[in-house]
């Protein structure tokens, strides 16, 4: 009987360890942005170009995130989880897949992934802002850089 109890405990420990390892692997995958071979901008350059109209700066985070930090001055907000994301982006870019579109998220992970997907979808001038709003290994981010933000107005989106 004791032998069976020891085997059961061993399998529980092995299973628990595997679950923990899988959890860490998923967490790391979500936090490490994929390589994006296209153009990148610092938050300062993205702000300057967005305000001057040289790029379409797109904040792809969620409404909850926009509410928490605001939206960078000059940026449009479009939740990347929307089912109609591509049509909405196409409308914002006036149907021109060559429009310079810079993507910003919280820490550069989602923007890098979406930059790759939009490039594959035929958009030819996608630019990643890898610092994001909150900072990453690429830099301090929009908020800590002290760049201006506008409050998120739910009725505007």
Task: Give the model confidence (pLDDT) of 6-32 as tens digits.
Answer: 666 666 666 555 555 555 555 544 555
pLDDT above 90 (res 84): yes
Residues 102, 129, single domain; the answer is: yes
Domain around 3: 1-31
Residues 115, 67, single domain; the answer is: yes
Task: Give the model confidence (pLDDT) of 127-143 as tens digits.
Answer: 999 999 999 999 999 99
Sign of the torsion formed by the C-alpha atoms of 30, 37, 64 and 79: negative
pLDDT above 80 (res 90): yes
What pLDDT was estimated at residue 38?
79
Task: Give the model confidence (pLDDT) of 44-69 as tens digits.
Answer: 999 999 999 999 999 999 999 999 99
Residues 26, 43, single domain; the answer is: no
Residues 20, 97, single domain; the answer is: no
Judge contact between 101 and 110, C-beta under 8 A: no
Residues 19, 57, single domain; the answer is: no
pLDDT above 80 (res 126): yes
End-to-end CA distance of the chain: 64
At 154, the pLDDT band (50, 70, 90 cuts) reads confident
At 107, the pLDDT band (50, 70, 90 cuts) reads very high
Residues 4, 81, single domain; the answer is: no
Beta-carbon count within 10 A of 70 CB? 18
Residues 115, 142, single domain; the answer is: yes
């Amino acid at each position: 009987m004791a032998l069976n109890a020891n085997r059961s405990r061993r399998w529980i420990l092995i299973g628990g360890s595997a679950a923990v390892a899988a959890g860490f692997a998923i967490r790391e995958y979500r936090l490490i942005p994929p390589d994006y071979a296209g153009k990148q901008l610092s938050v300062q350059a993205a702000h300057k170009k967005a305000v001057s109209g040289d790029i379409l700066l797109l904040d792809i985070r969620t409404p909850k995130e926009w509410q928490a930090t605001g939206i960078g001055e000059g940026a449009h907000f479009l939740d990347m989880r929307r089912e109609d994301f591509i049509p909405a982006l196409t409308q914002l870019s006036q149907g021109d897949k060559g429009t310079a579109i810079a993507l910003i998220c919280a820490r550069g992970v989602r923007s890098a992934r979406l930059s790759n997907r939009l490039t594959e979808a035929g958009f030819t001038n996608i630019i990643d802002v890898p610092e994001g709003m909150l900072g990453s290994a690429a830099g301090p981010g929009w908020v800590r850089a002290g760049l201006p933000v506008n409050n998120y107005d739910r009725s505007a989106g």
